[in-house]
Amino acid sequence: MRVYLDNAATSWPKPEAVYLACDRYAREVGAAAGRGAHRHAAEAQRVVDGARQACAQLLDARDPRRIVWTANGTDALNLALHGILREGDRVVTTVVEHNSVLRPLADLAARRRIDVQFVPCDDEGFCDPDDFTPLLKRRVRLVAVSHASNVTGAVQDLEAVAHRARRAGALLLVDAAQTVGHLPWSIDQLAPDLVAASAHKGLLGPLGLGVLHVGPEAQDQLRPVRQGGGGEDSLSPFPPQRLPDRWEAGNLNVPALAGLQAAAEFLRAQGLHAIAQHERQLVARLREGLAPIPGVKVYGPAAPERRAAVVSVGIDGYDPQDAAAILDASFGVQCRAGLHCAPRIHQALGTANAGGLVRFSPGWSTSLEDVDAAVAAVAALAEHRL
């Protein structure tokens, strides 16, 4: 038996259409995009453009050219941070952030003297939008915030944060790794300056691909962080300036883009509202099943509508890594243990010294039976019935 509850790390299984699209591209097309005049090169370019269009429609972003393909979500965040920030800039971020934000900021603080200020969170993982206000009184270049915590699942009030960032004249970067594909929300409506996400999580695409949406205010400020070959103007020593080519040096991962296009079309057909409702039902069942177990502490918001599809727990008497290994080996329940690459929120929750938490993250294909199997396994583990 395999009960897969690690979708916050990467989604599995993918829709069948994703496997078929990747396989068809690799077997029947195989060409690089933007680097040839033959028919299969043209088809490769159609895949790139089709994926861009499908992703923009899913994200409710009116201009597909603002979708920039990156190597992964971490790469998208690195492009945003290293491309926007200049010597001596000030950044406001939160203790909720993933190391994909924290580590680039630490590097920039050391090399470019970037001043980084952190907004705290409460014991559910929420940041109070009002806590941003005093930090924004001095000129701030960028506000960087995770839409949802990958530890507690708490979904931040992005609208309130965006309002405060705009009022202060700061750009807004959203790490949407845990919400894109899981929750319905609109880039055009919220109008953040930069949105980064992985293709392989809620978007249900393959590994090795990320997305950065670049808004109009950020467009001229975002410097490329790599240079190289492209499909046009090879005589110029500089990269093209037009969207999105400026930031897409080198060959794109076209097989993954074929899969992502299929995944985005699948998500649109299913409907993000329906997927969000299904995942809320799973989260509610998980939390209600785990909370009464003696020796188990459940973290994060009680209300399913205020959280992404993440439920993290501490189990008395067990190191999180040991607990996860036993759940897999003895019960076939696969989850994630540790600090989840988000050390500051574990420090805020008081779980860092204990090695973090055990995280369960259901997805689009998870069933109620899968959730019940996980709850039963944790109950047996907590009661030492192995």
Mean pLDDT on 260-268: 98
The pLDDT tens digits of the residues spanning 2-34 come to: 999 999 999 999 999 999 999 999 999 988 887
User: How confident is the model at residue 130, as a pLDDT?
Assistant: 98
Which band of pLDDT confidence, cut at 50, 70 and 90, is reported for residue 236?
confident
Whether cis (ω within 30° of 0) applies to the bond prior to 240 is no
User: How confident is the model at residue 1, as a pLDDT?
Assistant: 84
% of the chain with per-residue pLDDT over 70: 98
Is 106:289 a contact under the CB 8 Å cutoff?
A: no
Mean pLDDT on 363-367: 98
User: How confident is the model at residue 252, as a pLDDT?
Assistant: 95
User: How confident is the model at residue 232, as a pLDDT?
Assistant: 65
User: How confident is the model at residue 241, as a pLDDT?
Assistant: 78
Separation CA 10–CA 202 (nearest Å) = 8
Strands (E), the chain: 3-4, 67-70, 90-94, 115-119, 142-146, 171-175, 194-198, 210-214, 296-299, 311-315, 333-334, 336-338, 357-360
Say whether 55 is catalytic. no
User: How confident is the model at residue 29, as a pLDDT?
Assistant: 93
The pLDDT tens digits of the residues spanning 114-132 come to: 999 999 999 999 999 999 9
Average of per-residue pLDDT values in the chain = 95
Mean pLDDT on 28-47: 87
Q: Which residues lie below 8 Å from residue 25, measured CB to CB, with a gap of 6+? A: 44, 47, 254, 255, 258
Separation CA 267–CA 364 (nearest Å) = 10
The pLDDT tens digits of the residues spanning 337-355 come to: 999 999 999 999 999 999 9
The pLDDT tens digits of the residues spanning 269-308 come to: 999 999 999 999 999 999 999 999 999 999 999 999 999 9
For 319-356, b/e burial (b = at least 16 CB within 10 A) is ebeebbebbbeebebbbbbbbbebbbbbebbebeeebb
Which domains are present in the chain?
3-12+272-382 (3.90.1150.10), 16-270 (3.40.640.10)
Separation CA 41–CA 365 (nearest Å) = 35
Separation CA 211–CA 209 (nearest Å) = 7
Question: In this model, does residue 386 exceed pLDDT 60?
Answer: no
Angle at 167 between CA 164 and CA 168, to 5 degrees: 90
Which residues are paired to 315 by β-bridges? 296
% of the chain with per-residue pLDDT over 90: 90
Of 15 and 41, the structure prediction assigns the larger pLDDT to 15
DSSP codes joined into one string, 296-347: EEEES-SSGGGB-S-EEEEETT--HHHHHHHHHHHH-EE-EEE-TT-HHHHH
User: How confident is the model at residue 209, as a pLDDT?
Assistant: 98
